[in-house]
Amino acid sequence: MSYKPEFTLVAGANGSGKSSNIENLQENYLNPDTMGFKKALTELKQCIKNGKTVATETNLTGNSYLEIIKEARSNGFIINLIFVTTEDPQINVNRVANRVQKGGHDIPIDLIHSRYKAGHRFLPQYMDAVDNITIIDNTTEPKLILVIKNKRIEYLAQKIIFPIMQTLGIKRINALRNQLS
């Protein structure tokens, strides 16, 4: 079996726990919060061009990364999506406020709420575009909600938090449950 580079997109609204839970995921983790969005994007595109395994994070507020996923796929990459969320965007707001008290960067409350909603809205499109999906409920501590490897479901939690239930829809969740049976 030949080596295939991986592109991992870690997604979720500000305060969901992307950076604190996932930063040690890979050696080549590009964090736009610490290095700047443009620099992270430039390095990401360079890694994909050079066939180098890479991970980055996003709020998933639009479909701009879908083009990067297509490019990575055409360069032979395995595409992973890790979506980190909470039960309620107010949890994210509180975490960002705590981060600011410790000297971290601030995000306006209305922006956290809009990014939370947008991330959930775009999640299904990204799920259809990737090979492997992990959805994590990070309301209190990280809990797996869904794991799909090579387009095959491996795990689906019995209890699914409402925002994910609403995002995926009961029809899709039932179809996933049927795949597990």
The model's pLDDT over 137-154, given as tens digits with 9 standing for 90+, comes to 999 999 999 999 998 999
With vertex at residue 25, the alpha carbon angle to CA 134 and CA 165, rounded to the nearest 5 degrees, is 20
Per-residue H/E/C for 24-92: CCCCCEECHHHHCHHHHHHHHHHHHHCCCCEEEEECCCCCHHHHHHHHHHHCCCEEEEEEEECCCHHHH
* Model confidence band, residue 23 (pLDDT cutoffs 50, 70, 90): low
Tell me what the mean pLDDT of segment 31-60 comes to: 93
Q: In this predicted structure, what is the pLDDT of residue 22?
A: 66
Cα separation, 8 vs 69, whole angstroms: 10
Q: Which domains are seen in the chain, by residue range?
A: 6-180 (3.40.50.300)
Maximum pairwise Cα distance, the chain: 49
Asked whether the predicted pLDDT for residue 94 surpasses 70, the reply is: yes
Q: In this predicted structure, what is the pLDDT of residue 105?
A: 86
The model's pLDDT over 53-81, given as tens digits with 9 standing for 90+, comes to 999 999 999 999 999 999 999 999 999 99
Asked whether the predicted pLDDT for residue 112 surpasses 70, the reply is: yes
Indicate the length of the chain as a whole number.
181
* Model confidence band, residue 21 (pLDDT cutoffs 50, 70, 90): low
